[in-house]
Structure 1
Amino acid sequence: MAPEPRSVPETFAFACGDCGHSWEATFQVMFFTDPLDASGLTTQEYVDEAGRAIRSPLADAVCSECGGRRVNVLEAGHAEHTRHAEPEPRTRHKHRLHLPHRSPERSD
């Protein structure tokens, strides 16, 4: 019979680089050691707040507000600081072609 995996709670702060939304989430990090593996290597798995096994939130975070994948992972407690430091959400703007001004004296 395999021993019960060890688990450690970890909280991360996330900030979306697309819309500016920030949040925190706590995960259980489960550590497994294969008793048949002589090397004693340990693997880990993340479990979200709903109890689902997920890929590492550090590599696969998605913004719940805009679905963006430009998510920065921060230390716990930094999400609120990011929210106050982040400017208003970026809006898409129209790009315009900027040409040099012509002088009435020049006849190019």
Structure 2
Amino acid sequence: MENPTVVHESYSFVCMSCGRGWERDYEIHHATDLHGERLFRYYSEGTLVPSPFTKPACEHCGGTRLRILPAGRVASAAGPAPKPKVVKAAKSKVVKAAKPAEVSAPRPASRWHLPSLHRSA
């Protein structure tokens, strides 16, 4: 096996079960074995870990429904909530009722024509 190329990547995770979010940094070692197959090894905090894209699980509840986002997405969402805007109520105005619309004859039923999925040989 040749010397691996090391790439540093970070990902944000959001659990769709409990709603928690977190970020993790990875050191990814890319190498090619003697048979020419590409190998990828993921390390987090110096420990060999499985790829975050294969069977990820929530660190908090163990749920398996996770959304993986680019780094920085969880941190930006965890910031202080924006203050709600105060909207002043507008003075009400008296509006005349509109005339009822004239009812026209019903439109003829249209048919949708979709391209045939079957081809003749």
Q: What's the TM-score once normalised by structure 2's chain length?
A: 0.57
Query: Which amino acid is the alignment partner of residue 5 of structure 1?
Result: P
Cα drift, residue 73 of structure 1: 0.5
Structure 2: 5+ residue stretches without partners: 80-121
Higher RCO structure (Cα 8 Å, ≥6 apart)? 1
C-alpha separation in 2, matches of 1:81 and 1:20: 15
Identity %: 33
C-alpha separation in 2, matches of 1:82 and 1:18: 17
User: CA offsets per residue over residues 5-47 of structure 1, 9 Å max, x none?
Assistant: 111011000000011100000011111112x33xx44221111
Structure 1: 5+ residue stretches without partners: 85-108
* Structure with max Cα Rg: 2
C-alpha separation in 2, matches of 1:63 and 1:13: 12
Query: Which amino acid is the alignment partner of residue 15 of structure 1?
Result: V
Aligned Cα root-mean-square deviation (Å): 1.8
Residue 14 of structure 1 contacts residue 23 of structure 1 at CA under 8 Å; is this kept in 2?
A: yes
Runs of 4 or more consecutive aligned structure 1 residues displaced over 4 Å after TM superposition: 81-84
Cα drift, residue 80 of structure 1: 2.8
Q: How many residues align?
A: 79
